[in-house]
Structures are given as structure tokens and as C-alpha cells.
A = this chain, B = another copy of it.
Amino acid sequence: MSHIVLRCPRCGRTRPADMSTDVCRDCAAPLDVEYLDDHKPVGNSDTYEARTPVHDSSSGVSLGEGGTPCVHLKALGENLGMRRLHGKLEFLNPTGSFKDRGTAVMISVAMDHGVTELVEDSSGNAGASVSAYSARAGIKAHVFVPADAPQAKLRQIKVYGAEVHPIEGPRDAVTAAAMDYHRQHGLVYASHMLSPYFAEGTKTFAYEVAQQFDGALPDHIVFPVGNGSLFIGAFKGFCELQAAGRTDKIPRLHCVQARSVMPLVAAFTSQAWNPGTVSRTVAGGIAIAAPSRQEQILDILRQVEGTAVAVEESSIVKMQHALAEQEGIFAEPTSAAAFAGLEEIAKQGVIRENDTVLVPVTGFGLKDEVPL
């Protein structure tokens, strides 16, 4: 018998754990993992453990993901009027983005289930990550991508050996094509957006933060949010740590989106925004017009007294330069967007000078071909 079930975060209905990414039959929400048994350790340090949906963690797939450095951003913090600004360098994961935390767990569960071939859709970091971990696990991956996705991203997806399926049309058409293919061929749809295991994998972020800040958690964490897998995973991790008595609070978690693709900001702040007006943004990693876990993200924002802000293209590019030139950190535009949002949140008076602030630097600047 499995040690987990899948639970709808909206209505609470459960079903047995499997590799389907079907949403709740009653309310159409993507499902979460729920544990039936005790904690199981992940990792080999005695101070770092998290429950995992992987049945036999010794037989899972890993490339040494996680354990990313956390560094004080003194110069940039001073310029933004905050003394305790830190960056967690999530781009130092094995394929160059935080996605590897989620992928390692999702593909390990797929191995538990004997999966040998799977389907994913992504225009970037998730596609590269699923391609890499599938290669290491000996699983054949089909990655559906927008036909106009950046060449540098496509190149990385291809290099690990995934079969790339380019699809013309809007981003939604890519997801539709991937779902068609998985149904027609009876393959697993290993979607980083819908899989309960992916967001479960990213929660190790919170465990590491608790360890790196020695229990005195940051007051604020500012995330760039598209599908929100790191945001949701971090929240889960902090909840577990608090429930276990390891920490006494949950940091305020904030969402940043690009002005041109801001469904969460619009919904959270009751601003008008028309998905039909989506325009291109340099922050491709968060250009998701209809996040499948939107309701879950908004609910978390309310619980942790977070905010959601939208930023201009020029601010994103300015912050990408500032991070590189002031701190020696080469971030993707998507990651720089979080810092642009931080500036905005500080202006709103939500963050004070002595607050401890953390920003995950989610993707490597080397991954992007935007000219600087």
C-alpha cells in the first residue's frame, strides 16, 4: 500500500496515488500529495529532512539537486534600502534552474511506477530539466514546445536526448498537443504544472532556508511566479516545518509577474487585465496567462499576508544588470523580475529597512539569449 494519497486542495476529496495528472473530478483543481504515514528523510544530513512521495528513495533519480548557496546581497540591498537582503542561488541546480528540485521527485515517482516514456510541455527550464532527469533515469521523454521558443532553451532540451515536438500557435496549443499525444499513445503526462509530485519536490527549498537562516526565518521571500511551483512548494515546506515545531512562523511570501502577463496580480489586486492582450516579455519563465494552480496561489497569498506586484520590462532588464554588476550574479530575466518586484514592494512600504528578505535566483543567465 502506498504511503500517500492525492488530495484536492479545494474540496478535500482524495484518490489513490498514481501517475495521472487528472484534476479533481468535483472541482477541477490540480491535486496535492498527502501523507498517510510518518516522516521519511530526504537527503543525508541529520538536520535536513522532508517527507517525500518517492516510495523507495534509494532507487530514485538524482543529480545532486538542492543545497544551493545563500549569499548576502549587501550592495544591491543598500541601493534598495534594505540591510538584510539575501539571494538563494537556485540557478546552481544541475540544469541551471530550481525546476530540478521538482523534476527529481516527479521522475523518481515515475520510476516507482515503472514509467518508461513520458510527455511534458514547456518552452524552457522545465523542459530542459525533465529531459535531463529522464535521460538519467533511462526514460524516453517527449517535450512539446512552442515553435517560436528561444533557440538556446530548445538546444538545452534537445541536448539531453528528449524528442522535441514543436507546435505552432499560442502556449495553450502546446499544452493541448501534449495532452492529445499522451492520450493517443497511452503515455504518462509528466506536467510540471499539474503533477502533484513536482510541487512536492520544490518544498526542500523551505527546509534549506530554515537551515541556512538557522531557524530565524526571513521576514519576506519574493518569488517570480508563473505556474507557481516553487512558491507553492516553499509554502508547503514552511507549513511542515511549523507543524513540526521547527520554526515559529511562516515568512510572508510575495509574487512578482511581468506587467504584460499578470493573471495572478490582476486577480489578487482586482485590477483589470485581459489575457487576450498578452504581449511578449523578457521574463519568459513566468509568462503563463492561465496558471493551472491560480486559486491555490491566491489562497496562499492571503494566508501569509503576501502581495502580488507587476513589473515593467525596463525594470527587469535594469535589475538583471544590477545583479551582475553589483553582486556578480548572472540571473535570467525571469529571476531578475523578482528583484524588480522587490523594489516595488519596498516602495509600497510592505518591507522595512531592518527586515530580513530573501529572493530565490531561479535561473541562470546563461540559459537566455536576450542581448544585454
In the complex, the answer to whether A63 meets B67 with C-beta atoms within 8 Å is no
Chain B's nearest CB lies how many Å from the CB of A55? 20
> Contact between B70 and A64 (Cβ–Cβ < 8 Å)?
yes
Copies of the chain in the assembly:
2
- Is B330 a contact partner of A156 (Cβ separation < 8 A)? yes
Docked CA distance A316–B367 (Å): 22
Contact A159 B324 (CB under 8 A): yes
Contacts of A136 in B (CB 8 A): 75, 326-328
Q: Which of A62, A63, A70, A326 has the most CB of B within 10 A?
A: A63
Point out the residues of chain B lying under 8 angstroms from A75, CB to CB.
136, 138
Chain B residues within an 8 Å CB radius of A325: 135, 160-161
Query: Which residue of B is nearest A365, CB measured?
Result: B159
Q: How far is the CA of A159 from the CA of B331 in the complex (A)?
A: 10
User: Is A95 on the interface with B (CB-CB < 8 A)?
Assistant: yes
| Contact A158 to B328, CB < 8 A, known contacts A63-B71, A75-B138, A366-B367 | no
Whether B135 contacts A326 by the Cβ 8 Å rule is yes
Known: A327-B136, A329-B63. A372 touches B158 (CB 8 A): yes
User: In the complex the two chains form, is B330's CB within 8 Å of A132's CB?
Assistant: yes
**Contact residues in B for A327 (Cβ distance below 8 Å):** 135-136
Question: Could you list some 30 contacts between A and B, CB below 8 A?
Answer: A63-B71, A63-B89, A63-B328, A65-B69, A67-B69, A69-B94, A89-B94, A92-B92, A94-B328, A95-B328, A95-B330, A96-B364, A96-B366, A131-B328, A132-B328, A133-B328, A134-B328, A135-B327, A135-B328, A136-B326, A136-B327, A136-B328, A156-B330, A156-B365, A159-B330, A159-B372, A160-B330, A161-B324, A161-B325, A366-B367
- Contact surface of A with B, Cβ cutoff 8 Å: 62-65, 67-71, 75, 89, 92-96, 131-136, 138, 152, 155-156, 158-161, 321, 324-330, 364-367, 372
